[in-house]
Structure 1
Amino acid sequence: MRYLPLTDTDRSEMLAKIGAKSIDDLFVDVPAVAQLDGPIRDLPMHASEMAVERHMKARAAKNLAAGDAPFFLGAGAYRHHVPASVDTVIQRGEFLTAYTPYQPEIAQGTLQMLFEFQTQVARLYGCAVANASLYDGSTACWEAVAMATRVTKRNRAVLSGALHPHYAQVVKTMAQFTGDEIADSAPAIAPEADLDGLIARIDEDTACVVVQYPDILGRISDLSKVAEAAHEKGALLVAVNTEPVALGAIRSPGEMGADIVVGEGQSIGVGLQFGGPYLGLFAVRDPKHVRQMPGRLCGETTDAEGRRGFVLTLSTREQHIRREKATSNICTNSGLCALAFNVHMTLLGEKGLRELAAENHRLACLAADRLAQVPGVEVLNSSFFNEFTLMLGGKPAREIVRDLADRGVLGGVSLGRLYPGVEALEHALLVAVTEMTTEEDIETLATELEALVKETV
């Protein structure tokens, strides 16, 4: 029997207090298509623990794991090698926590790690100050938009069409509750991003322009022109990076004038993990904006005896100050993932990061050159780091991806799946290559892709 501490009277009183007629009123924002109208079909109402374990193991055995096949998936989550020493260090007692420490006198290890983590992120992004992490890249993107509206006192955000659609959707979802105007569009299918078109959408009401670097199609653009145009209109430039390894090879967004740089840190120290938990990175170029940053910031200080120590400082979230004065309702952080990032980055060092980035790019160039030789396949990009877009003839890319999986190859991400209904993207396949990709994997993808494309032509 389940323990249900609340009575029907308790529930009725709580619903009346918030003005809801029934519990169903709490789910009105969930689309009807996503709601169940009863128990999940084809599942028994109860089963023994052993029966459930057997059933779930049998289901899991049908998966094609990332390490069991040539793997070319990316689109914001990347398969990189994580040294075994990372897991060893993050499980040490002085570090092992997923949360922000509230008692600095007994959490110096975690706080020192966060201080060093902030330094790493700030240097990686070309910024002055970074916070102690957020949930993931998409929520960090929204927090950047919210921060820009506070700084500029405006409420319109212009999203690049080449921003990851999941990030754009998070921004639009959150904006429903703040009243901010979100202007977005679909990506232009071209070798280079349409920066002139993006700049033309900036006006005097724009709080920020949000761009991705490299973008969702893998293209790399010089953001200086966009930054200059945004600043002329009094807006901020928000740059989103979903592949931090790329910044070992290309200019940082801060160097090109981005005011707020955010992104996903999963590539460094954090495995794919079925989609989470991941790691949101957040930094600002100008120190004057530090008090408008969300989340928490770790600072260096000295104790009563003059010894070096670390504390949380400039806390601007609702658990530290009055809720109505908080910059964010982010109420914890990805502390353990931030530690993994910190340890992996420390092991790499600047030289190691640059070498890792160079190897990623070398293999990606090999893959692009080989796949371009497949009849009916065209590489869209004129620039890329370790991810690029293929335009396929014949079947839509979504079907090609499924066929490749049936042949034991995880061949990429269909942009038609990310942008349902956008006809121009139905034949676009996003391919990611990392140091975990072998030259044999590339040849296997090319061979299988050639066979599938040939079948449909």
Structure 2
Amino acid sequence: TLTTRLLGLDVANASMYDGASSLAEALLMSVRITRRKKVAISRLIHPLYRQVVRTYFAPTEFEVVELPVLESGQTDMTGLQDLETFAGVAVQSPNYFGCIENLSALGEKIHSDNKTLFIVSFTEPLAYGILKNPGSLGADIACGEGQSLGVPSSFGGPGLGMFAAKKAYMRNMPGRLVGRTQDIEGKRGFVLTLSTREQHIRREKATSNICSNQGLCATAAAMYMATLGGTGIRKLAELNHDKAAYLQNELKTAGFEVPFDTPVFNEFVIKFPEGFEKTYANLLAKKIVPGLSLTPDYPEFPDYYLLCVTETMDKADMDLLVKEVTS
């Protein structure tokens, strides 16, 4: 219930492994529903998510098409003319560059073909504390990573895959669905309502072979969301956004280029001067991480770095970063 409210959709499963597997399963779900053999994913979806999608699809007959990047830092949909051949189209918002996609316009274009599914991925669910949720903007499926919802990070993990969809597609969803019922004494209880896994039904009828969900992480995330409530999630999201806006503005004032003018949530891209690698190495030695280079995954964007600010970062830390990169 908490997940469906946050993402604006009808039904959510009991969780997936992580955000990447959630996206791959969503694309496979679109293939099952439409019986089409081609899907499209934005290049602005997290590179590791796209890699997992390619791994899932490699042994199949299905084709994965990647959508290019606009100068605004958003997804370019202009080349997607033959929508009637696509099972689903996936974008991420906020995307890997931190830019907020125009989900309403994207959904309208994708739904110009009434069978193609609109899939919205995410790496930061807190963004929907202040942004309109995917369901309200036309998404058929919303999926992504829920680690930031109270799940402690440990060497990058553990992950928590969040997955929600419209009720019409419920029986094609992967994983487990839990529903509320009453026992023989009339007391409220929760039971496994639907689980179309190959361990539970005939393999050829299964929608997924996922054999476990991140139960402990999902429980922690549910407690986190319930504790914060709608008001708390909104305030936390505002804190993330405002702190990121402060650092972005300070770096811009210091003379660094902000290459994309599209609104962001808590991540943004800065273009540092050529040769910044030496400064980067010096800062790492001081235990300061001045962003993540985009060049390995996006060679067309040299010297572009992705920075992130969360509620854990205070003003002194941000001011120190600005001082160090300008010295």
Pairing 1:278–2:180 present: no
Pairing 1:367–2:247 present: yes
Pairing 1:410–2:289 present: yes
Following the alignment from structure 1 to structure 2, what is the Cα–Cα distance between the partners of residues 300 and 194? 39
The corresponding residue for 2:56 is 174
SS where residue 138 of structure 1 aligns?
A: helix
Pairing 1:150–2:32 present: yes
Which amino acid is the alignment partner of residue 61 of structure 2? G
Following the alignment from structure 1 to structure 2, what is the Cα–Cα distance between the partners of residues 174 and 221? 25
Q: Which range moved further: 200-209 or 442-451? A: 200-209
The corresponding residue for 1:322 is 202
Following the alignment from structure 2 to structure 1, what is the Cα–Cα distance between the partners of residues 8 and 177? 18
Deviation at 1:196, TM superposition (A): 3.9
**Equivalent of residue 307 in structure 1, options 176, 180, 187:** 187
User: Are the equivalent residues in 1 in contact too, given 2:69–2:76 (CA < 8 A)?
Assistant: no
Deviation at 1:224, TM superposition (A): 1.5
Residues 248-299 of structure 1: CA distance to partner in whole angstroms, max 9, x if unpaired? 0100011000100001000111122111121000000x21100000000111
Q: Per the alignment, do residues 399 and 313 of structure 1 end up closer, same or farther by CA in structure 2, a change over 3 Å counting?
A: farther
Following the alignment from structure 1 to structure 2, what is the Cα–Cα distance between the partners of residues 265 and 222? 22
The corresponding residue for 1:383 is 263
Pairing 1:120–2:30 present: no
Which amino acid is the alignment partner of residue 121 of structure 1? T
What does 1:24-423 correspond to in 2, within 5 Å? Answer: 119-185=1-67, 187-188=69-70, 190-197=71-78, 200-233=80-113, 234-284=115-165, 286-395=166-275, 400-417=279-296, 419=297, 422-423=298-299
Q: Per the alignment, do residues 159 and 212 of structure 1 end up closer, same or farther by CA in structure 2, a change over 3 Å counting?
A: same
Following the alignment from structure 2 to structure 1, what is the Cα–Cα distance between the partners of residues 3 and 255? 42
Pairing 1:447–2:323 present: yes
Greater fraction strand:
2
Q: Which runs of 4+ in 1 moved over 4 A?
A: none
Deviation at 1:227, TM superposition (A): 1.3
Greater fraction helix:
1
Deviation at 1:307, TM superposition (A): 1.6
Alignment: residue pair count: 326
Q: Per the alignment, do residues 350 and 392 of structure 1 end up closer, same or farther by CA in structure 2, a change over 3 Å counting?
A: same
SS where residue 299 of structure 1 aligns?
A: strand
TM-score by length of 1: 0.69
User: Are the equivalent residues in 2 in contact too, given 1:411–1:445 (CA < 8 A)?
Assistant: yes
SS where residue 378 of structure 1 aligns?
A: coil
User: Are the equivalent residues in 1 in contact too, given 2:14–2:176 (CA < 8 A)?
Assistant: yes
The corresponding residue for 1:34 is none
User: Are the equivalent residues in 2 in contact too, given 1:379–1:388 (CA < 8 A)?
Assistant: no
Which amino acid is the alignment partner of residue 222 of structure 1? N
Q: Per the alignment, do residues 305 and 164 of structure 1 end up closer, same or farther by CA in structure 2, a change over 3 Å counting?
A: same
SS where residue 174 of structure 2 aligns?
A: coil
Following the alignment from structure 1 to structure 2, what is the Cα–Cα distance between the partners of residues 332 and 138? 15
SS where residue 142 of structure 2 aligns?
A: strand
Q: Per the alignment, do residues 120 and 202 of structure 1 end up closer, same or farther by CA in structure 2, a change over 3 Å counting?
A: farther
Unaligned runs of 5+ in 1: 1-118, 452-457
Which amino acid is the alignment partner of residue 319 of structure 2? E
Q: Per the alignment, do residues 379 and 404 of structure 1 end up closer, same or farther by CA in structure 2, a change over 3 Å counting?
A: farther
The percentage of counterpart residues that share the same residue type is 41
The Cα RMSD (Å) is 1.6
Which amino acid is the alignment partner of residue 438 of structure 1? D
User: Are the equivalent residues in 1 in contact too, given 2:89–2:117 (CA < 8 A)?
Assistant: yes
Following the alignment from structure 1 to structure 2, what is the Cα–Cα distance between the partners of residues 379 and 368? 11
